Structure 1
Amino acid sequence: MMRILLVEDDERIAKVLAASLTEQRYTVDMAGDGEKGWEFIEALAYDLILLDVMLPKLTGIGLCQRIRQSGYTIPVLMLTAKDTSEDKVMGLDVGADDYVVKPFDVPELLARIRALLRRGNVAPNPILEWQQLRLDPSNYEVTYSDKLLHLTPKEYGLLELFLRNENIVLSRSAILDNLWSFEDPPSEEAVKVHIKDLRKKLRKVGAPPDFIETVYGVGYRLKQG
């Protein structure tokens, strides 16, 4: 799953955006000021940054400038309540890739995010396959033996993670790091629950019970054919 950092000090807006992004199967971390945002950027790898201009401690303009001066090429989409050409020019001059004025339309914002992510990844998302399993990242469709699976965002994320690491045993902590936000991860027991539910759905469409194999004391992986 792609990981997005949202740097926004308005808690109401941050919660709405985080919920919308999570529904679109992104993993979202949130920071309420520019300095905290910078701490996240130094600690984790992000596919995109949503950055408010007016932030405490370090402004969005200052943070964007620091990001680019430090050599990061992560796409940056700036959010602002000001609709003036001067602010837009300033944001673009320090390295922002796009600019959205509040109040914004969430579907349009999501479309701009998808466009920036495509721009950052010139190659189209390849279809991921393992035996009879097929996952298409372009439309979030998952099938097994041509039977459609109806998955929650976390179940989809789990399958995608396994498919992108098909010969690697993933520990519960590694799964948590990849699929949950940094601020409020659940316990490792939550991973067991999601794996159990995912196995049930796979069995219903004909997959073997151990399609997702448990490597005891280590973690999980897709079972070799």
Structure 2
Amino acid sequence: MKVLLVEDDRALGATLRDALEVEGHQVRHAASVAEARALLAHDSLPDMLLLDLGLPDGDGAALLAEVRRRHAFAVIVISARQDDAGKIGLLDGGADDYLVKPFALGELLARMRVAWRHRGHAATPVVTRYEQDGLRVDLAAHRVQRRQGGDWADVHLTPTEFNLLARLVRNAGQVVTHRQLLADVWGAEFTEHTHYLRLYMGQLRAKLEDEPAAPRRLLTEPGVGYRLMPPAG
């Protein structure tokens, strides 16, 4: 999903953004009502809004009311406020759900899936672990390993290399087109820069393939894109 996260706590916002991106979501983060309004006005609309209430330049409840007058995407309120009357008012005012801080990430993800299903979309957990032919990837732990002999050794990837591999892991066994990879890893404005993909795929193969010139894991689909071999089992 495309998610707009409105949260003024920078540390919490960064943590949530990282966790949601590991799950495959595209996240934009606003720390104020004004920033949120600007993103809603000038960026592509999100599929879901995660909305804090106590923002530095206004109350999230007012933003919820504005959103509901114009848009139908899902809204989940995330707030430390626990009064029942306030929760009921926000739910009656158009929020799909209300989650009280602090909360477990797993609960947030589950509630997001429920809200997504209520809008008629399929919602299944994204693949975050991968193992095949001596390669092991854990997206949540940000860890990549290769088996060397009988042991597993960590492989250091740059942030861009990791993001590219993560995109392929989430769709392991399926072809991901050049345009999809470029848009998801570099941004929509880079969809014609296929030389980026050639360069970084070459770097990934050098680190993850036994014979980079004859890859068995990171496969090229000529003229279309790339495919990661499906996981074992």
Q: TM-score range by the shorter chain?
A: 0.5 to 0.7
Q: Please say if 1:28 is aligned against 2:34.
A: no
Inter-partner Cα distance in structure 2 for 1:16 and 1:69: 30
TM-score of the aligned structures, taking structure 2 as reference length:
0.63
Taking only the aligned residue pairs, the percentage that are identical comes to 25
Picking from 150, 156, 160, the partner of 2:166 is 156
Q: Equivalent residue for 2:107?
A: 108
- Give the letter for the 1:106 counterpart: L
Q: Equivalent residue for 2:187?
A: 177
TM-score of the aligned structures, taking structure 1 as reference length:
0.65
Q: Equivalent residue for 1:211?
A: 220
Alignment RMSD: 4.0
Q: Please say if 1:17 is aligned against 2:16.
A: yes
Gaps of 5+ in 2: 140-162, 228-233
Picking from 193, 197, 201, the partner of 1:195 is 201
CA contact (8 A) 2:128 2:170 kept: no
How many residue pairs get aligned? The number is 195
Inter-partner Cα distance in structure 2 for 1:113 and 1:149: 31
Bigger mean CA offset, 89-98 vs 17-26: 17-26
Inter-partner Cα distance in structure 2 for 1:195 and 1:121: 36
CA contact (8 A) 1:173 1:188 kept: yes
- Give the letter for the 2:21 counterpart: T
Describe how 1:22-61 pairs up with structure 2 within 5 A.
Answer: 22-42=21-41, 43-61=43-61
- Give the letter for the 1:196 counterpart: G
Gaps of 5+ in 1: 126-136, 179-186
- Give the letter for the 1:56 counterpart: P
Q: Which has the larger radius of gyration?
A: 2
- Give the letter for the 1:156 counterpart: A
Stretches of 4+ aligned residues off by more than 4 angstroms: 140-143, 146-153, 158-161, 163-166, 187-194, 197-210
* Structure with bigger RCO (C-alpha 8 Å, 6+ apart): 1
3-state SS, counterpart of residue 35 of structure 1 = helix
Q: How far 1:59 moved relative to its partner?
A: 2.1
Q: Please say if 1:92 is aligned against 2:91.
A: yes
CA contact (8 A) 1:49 1:76 kept: yes
Q: How far 1:32 moved relative to its partner?
A: 0.5
CA contact (8 A) 1:79 1:99 kept: yes
Inter-partner Cα distance in structure 1 for 2:77 and 2:50: 6
- Give the letter for the 1:41 counterpart: L
